[in-house]
Amino acid sequence: MKKIYISCTLVGFIFLASGCNPHARQEDSGMTLLKKTNSSPIQLSTMNSSKEVQDIKKDVSSLPEIYDVAVIKGKKDTLVVYKVKHLQRFRMKKIEKKLNTLLEKKYPDDKFSVSSDYKIFLEAERLRKKIKDAHVTKKKAEKELQSIIKLKDETT
Amino acid sequence: MASKKKKTTPEQLKYQQLQQKHELKRPVLKNCIKAFFVGGLICMICQAVSFFYIYYFNFTEQTAGNPTVATMVFFSMLLTGFGVYDRLGQFAGAGSAVPVTGFGNAVISAAIEHRTEGLVLGVGGNMFKLAGAVILFGVVSAFFVALIKTLLGVWGVL
């Protein structure tokens, strides 16, 4: 019994200590799965104005079921990833359909890849951070975006 | 049931009444709460394992389910071998049997039980004694669900 108490206290201390992160205010993709990131949208091609990606993010965020959105616009494809509020997760398919029709209606010329998967959100966030820190060239970023879109379509 | 009651002798009836008087009442609510929390804890660990696969490997939320199930079954097999899962099962009941870890426990406990009867006829023949039914009904129900979904898709309902 004593051992159980000791191990419980130890686990409690670990949880407490993990809360005391000195870099908590910095942007960290590690917490993407648990926290709201509200990241700025990224545009890889210089052909269009950056206002369009801002608009896409604003439109997607306007849906009441969604609480976090990441947008990455490549040369041809635009990746839109979002997180759905917990109790609304029962209606995931309907929300995706609603979002698809909204985007197709408003931006008929763009090709969208829409996903609510945490992994895709995490990868989009990692790519955004790499671009922001200038760790990748535009060409490599485009390649990574394509691999994220490919990962999104994987089912098994 | 009624025909059985008719056949009971007065002594048997008297004994049944005495038995009912002394029988301990099952703490149903307490058992449910225990099962709820232990089952929930197991599911929380599953979620953590799933997040681990999503975060460190190339698995999406959809595909992370397979390695997560495999890992949890492996853990439960180890715990059954060490005798920990049996104690957990006694404490939590359905809370430890319903999650996928209960499946691993059913497989390995049958294998351990029949180890003395030999590897082929003992372990091999009895390993899926209980889990076999789970696999069979799982596969059959999955087949029918897939069939219904395909038909609904063909008819344009879905």
| 3-state SS string for chain B | CHHHHHHCCHHHHHHHHHHHHHCCCCCHHHHHHHHHHHHHHHHHHHHHHHHHHHHHCCCCCCCCHHHHHHHHHHHHHHHHHHCHHHHHHHHHCHHHHCCHHHHHHHHHHHHHHCHHHCHHHHHHHHCCCCHHHHHHHHHHHHHHHHHHHHHHHHHCCC
Whether B40 maps to a domain, the answer reads: yes
Domain range list for chain A: 30-153
B73/B139 same-domain check: no
Q: Assess contact for B107 and B127: CB atoms under 8 A.
A: yes
What CATH number should be reported for the domain whose range is A30-153? Answer: 3.30.300
ipTM of the complex: 0.73
Q: What's residue A23's pLDDT? A: 43
Encode pLDDT of A56-109 as tens digits: 889 999 999 999 899 998 888 899 999 999 899 999 999 999 999 999 998 888
A-interface mutation test, from B58, B60, B62, B149, most A Cβ less than 10 A away: B60
**Total structural domains within chain B:** 2
B69/B92 same-domain check: yes
Cα A107 to Cα A42, A123, A148, B132, distances in angstroms: 17, 24, 22, 53
Range of the domain at B57: 27-127
Whether B14 maps to a domain, the answer reads: no
A118 reaches B (C-beta below 8 A): yes
B79/B122 same-domain check: yes
B57 contacts: CB under 8 Å, gap ≥ 6: B67
CB burial of residue B152 (10 Å; 0-12, 13-18, 19+): exposed
Encode pLDDT of B44-81 as tens digits: 999 999 999 999 999 998 899 999 999 999 999 999 99
Q: How far apart are CA A141 and CA A148, in angstroms?
A: 10
B81/B46 same-domain check: yes
B81/B48 same-domain check: yes
B59/B86 same-domain check: yes
B89/B158 same-domain check: no
Q: What's residue A7's pLDDT? A: 52
B120/B92 same-domain check: yes
Q: Which residues of A touch B54 (CB under 8 A)?
A: 33, 118-119, 122
Whether B59 maps to a domain, the answer reads: yes
Whether B2 maps to a domain, the answer reads: no
